[in-house]
Amino acid sequence: MSERISVSAKPVAAMSGGEGPSGAAASELAHLYGNAGSWPAGETAPPPVRNLLGIAGLGRDNLLTLLDIAGGFKRDPHETPALLRGHTVVLYFNKPSTRTRISFETAVAQLGGTPLAVGPHELQLDRGETIEDTARVISSYARAFVIRTFSDEDVRRFAATATIPVVNALTDMHHPCQVIGDLFTMRELWGGFAGRRVAFIGDGDNVAHSLIEGCALLGVDVAVACPPGYEPDAGIVEAAKRAAAASGSTVLITHDPREAVAEADAVYTDVWLSMGVPELERAARVSAFRDYQVNVALMSPAKPDAVFLHCLPAHRGEEVAPDVFDGPRSRVFQQAANRLPTEQAILFALLTGRLRDVSKNVPFAKELS
Ligand code: CP
Ligand code: NVA
């Protein structure tokens, strides 16, 4: 377990004008970066990470730094009550949300700020104002922009113009905030990641993609079982395999759920019909996913102390049997609760320049921003 990192840093003055974050002491940054070795003496530190658009682009060290910072916030949610005092964070949700929206709103409040949650019909975007104009205007009012929407390209366009941090709160392809919370939960459960195996059973979309990326970076074996036609994106899998080779772990994609679950430490599933998937697909999906329900029989090839995980919301009787979801192996509400300290950590780290952009040094990192 990493030692505690104090999160009590002053807000970075340079950020308020839309400038890049800076200001943390070099020694402090060196310490944070130092979990895989500091940059060589005399060399300029890599630039700070401005946005969280996906897991892969973060790299292993930043991911671990976020987990460490989240640990501090879990112990003391009010450790930095002044970071956002007098400032707003805009939360734009173009899809429904319970956990992500409420945890981010609460995180902003605990950092001393005011969250402004807006839906698709409340901004002029819906009436044709461009993403770029919107990003430019919001950057002149708020300290950060959290966005849940459909297209990753829209989020990238927003981030390309915004001068404040942009956080992906779920797109069709990625759910990085969820998986940072999940990895935090796994570390709480296991104390570390070495030698662990996670099985994901179900649809190879946003949650699966981010989980594959996060596990590969942190050296967790990940096995995904999905019906034919619902496999995760091939490019994400290929990049994750290269990351896994570097971290000493493996990525397996299979159509056989029992193969995926064999000797797993955690069995994870997600809904069969993600937000935005047409209801017309329901019958075909229920039929395709029927043999992929996580039930007591499917849990049996996992390790005896394996836990059950789910990003939520859950549909008991579809992707998970009620006796697994509500049973003794389920850690789903611990997972959900951990969204709060990890959202705090994400905002804190981006606003104070705690993360270093190492993507140029990491050949498998997807350039998302
Ligand atoms: N897991 C998750 O992101 O939940 P919400 O859709 O409720 O935010
Ligand atoms: N895959 C799901 C995740 C919900 C948190 C969806 O996109 O609806």
Give distance in angstroms: CA of 290 to centre of ligand 2: 18
Helices (H), the chain: 26-33, 60-75, 99-110, 131-139, 152-161, 176-190, 206-218, 234-247, 257-261, 282-289, 296-299, 322-325, 332-337, 339-351
Q: Which amino acid, residue 35?
A: N
| Measured distance CA(24)–CA(106) in Å, rounded | 25
Residue with the smallest CA separation from ligand 2 atom 8 is 274
pLDDT in the model for residue 363? 52
pLDDT in the model for residue 361? 60
Catalytic annotation present for 127: no
| Measured distance CA(157)–CA(130) in Å, rounded | 10
**What predicted TM-score, i.e. pTM, was given to this entire model?**
0.89
Give distance in angstroms: CA of 203 to centre of ligand 2: 10
Q: How many CB atoms lie within 10 A of CB 38?
A: 16
Residue with the smallest CA separation from ligand 1 atom 7 is 98
Mean pLDDT in each 10-residue stretch from start to end of the chain (369 residues)? 37 30 33 41 83 95 97 96 96 98 98 97 94 98 98 98 98 98 98 98 98 98 98 97 97 98 98 97 98 98 98 98 98 98 98 87 47
> What is 140-161 written as a DSSP string?
TT-SEEEEE-S-HHHHHHHHHH
Cβ of 241 less than 6 Å from ligand 1? no
Q: How many CB atoms lie within 10 A of CB 141?
A: 11
Residue with the smallest CA separation from ligand 2 atom 1 is 274
Cβ of 239 less than 6 Å from ligand 1? no
Angle in degrees, CA 367, 311, 154, rounded to 5: 35
Among all ligands shown, which has an atom nearest to the Cα of 98?
A: 1
pLDDT in the model for residue 365? 52
Catalytic entry in 61, 87, 178, 197? 178
Cβ of 271 less than 6 Å from ligand 2? yes
pLDDT in the model for residue 20? 29
User: With contact defined as beta carbons under 8 Å apart, do 93 and 119 qualify?
Assistant: yes
Catalytic annotation present for 101: no
Give distance in angstroms: CA of 12 to centre of ligand 2: 34
